[in-house]
């Protein structure tokens, strides 16, 4: 649902102040401790951040895609780990349920997801199925009024905090590829489900990923999401929205880095003048700004198309591809502009350099986005 302009402006202003006054001062602490302060999580719940995309009927804010992207840009102006704390509730961990869930499933889970009392995760990736998402090997064997799940998932965001997993599993072993995959809502406390230790990562400390194991986990049939064999369809539609959200976050991070660079250049002096006077550095700022503006324009245009009911599979892939690659280039230039100061931890630039690297990998690698863009372009005839 699109907010009226006054309400939208109030929401964006509230999120912007929360990011500036509350989150940015904690960036170094969260990175060093690899943990999110509990009081910050409670404040995020109170602001409604866990329910940005959940329908109002279930306690969420029910933002349109355009409004969600505008909020995501603001959230991108701080360490991405903060957004990740509730990102799965807003995106891949909840949207399959919103799009394909039964009334009973929605009533049971969505109010808790919107409030943040239920943390969700999206369990698709496996040791042999990441980009090749139709090749999942986790099995879901029908046994009366249950499915029995066996297998393992890898690199699952928020798995160590999740109460509910959307799990992709092969329900028809005789049907290869996407057609044999179904989606299931799997509760954390079911016997046989276990979660590994958080992985040590290159960046985004404070946001955790873990392996998830299924050992004869009995999931009620009523917890299947959509019809049997529709799992790949669920995953792809969820990812369309998630890719736009990530694109907007990338824009926000780029804008933060550009602002930091401009502030540093205005203060740092070399050869008797501030760095703002050096044309080679001006050129780097110009490149950063131009690419950030282009990514934002593509992301917002695609969001509006999605809100209008148009298919945006190609456009969402293009936005995610361009925005994630863009923010990597901006972060690299930021390190260069800061020079030695950009390489040490004090200024936080090296942290962002590491943080943004994952954007080119999750929600579909850049190479998968290229495949999607090419496939959809050829399908449309140009």
Q: Which residues are catalytic?
A: 363
Cβ atoms < 10 Å from Cβ of 137: 14
Q: Is residue 50 a contact partner of residue 114, using CB atoms and an 8 Å limit? A: yes
Which pair of structure tokens corresponds to residue 88? 């799965």
In angstroms, the CA 79 to CA 272 distance is: 34
| CB within 8 Å of 161: residues ≥ 6 apart | 119, 208
CB-side neighbour CA atoms (13 Å) of 142: 13
CB-side neighbour CA atoms (13 Å) of 16: 11
DSSP E strand stretches across the chain: 120-123, 139-143, 146-157, 164-170, 181-187, 193-195, 209-220, 224-225, 269-270, 273-274
In angstroms, the CA 315 to CA 321 distance is: 10
In angstroms, the CA 78 to CA 170 distance is: 38
Query: What string of DSSP letters covers 166-207?
Result: EEEEES-TTS-GGGGEEEEEEETTSTTEEE-PPPP-SS-TTS
The alpha carbon of residue 149 and the mean position of all alpha carbons in its chain are separated, in whole angstroms, by 26
Q: Is residue 136 a contact partner of residue 177, using CB atoms and an 8 Å limit? A: no
Burial code (b: 16+ CB inside 10 Å, e: under 16) for 269-308 equals eeeeeebeeeeebeebbeebbebbeebbebbbebbbbbbe
């Amino acid at each position: 649902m699109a907010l009226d302009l006054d309400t939208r402006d109030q929401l964006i202003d509230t999120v912007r102040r929360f990011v500036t006054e509350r989150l940015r001062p904690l960036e170094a602490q969260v990175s060093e401790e690899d943990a999110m302060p509990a009081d910050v999580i409670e404040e995020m719940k109170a602001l409604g951040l866990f329910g940005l995309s959940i329908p109002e009927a279930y306690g969420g804010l029910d933002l349109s895609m355009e409004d969600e992207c505008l909020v995501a840009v603001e959230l991108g102006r701080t360490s991405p780990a903060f957004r990740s704390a509730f990102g799965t509730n807003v995106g891949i961990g909840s949207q399959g349920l919103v799009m394909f869930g039964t009334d009973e499933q929605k009533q049971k889970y969505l109010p808790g997801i919107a409030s943040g009392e239920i943390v969700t995760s999206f369990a698709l990736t496996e040791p042999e199925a990441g980009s090749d998402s139709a090749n999942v090997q986790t099995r879901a064997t029908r046994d009366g009024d249950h499915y029995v799940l066996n297998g393992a998932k890898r690199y699952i965001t928020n798995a160590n905090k999740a109460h509910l997993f959307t799990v992709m599993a092969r329900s028809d072993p005789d049907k290869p590829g996407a057609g044999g995959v179904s989606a299931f809502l799997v509760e954390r406390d079911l016997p046989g489900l276990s979660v590994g230790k958080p992985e040590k990562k290159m960046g985004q400390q404070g946001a955790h990923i873990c392996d998830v194991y299924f050992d004869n986990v009995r999931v009620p049939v009523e917890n299947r999401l959509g019809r049997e064999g529709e799992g790949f369809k669920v995953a792809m539609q969820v990812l369309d929205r998630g890719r736009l959200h990530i694109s907007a976050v990338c824009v926000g991070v780029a804008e933060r880095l550009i602002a930091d660079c401009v502030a540093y250049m205005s203060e740092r002096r070399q050869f008797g003048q501030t760095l703002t006077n050096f044309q080679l550095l001006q050129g780097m700022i110009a490149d950063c700004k131009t690419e950030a503006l282009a990514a934002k324009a593509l992301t917002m245009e695609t969001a509006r198309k999605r809100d209008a009911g148009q298919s945006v599979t190609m456009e969402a892939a293009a936005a995610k591809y361009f925005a994630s690659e863009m923010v990597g280039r901006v972060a690299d230039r930021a390190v260069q502009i800061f020079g030695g100061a950009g390489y040490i931890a004090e200024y936080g630039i090296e942290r962002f350099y590491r943080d943004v690297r994952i954007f080119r990998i999750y929600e579909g690698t850049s190479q998968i986005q290229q495949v999607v863009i090419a496939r959809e372009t050829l399908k449309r005839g140009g």
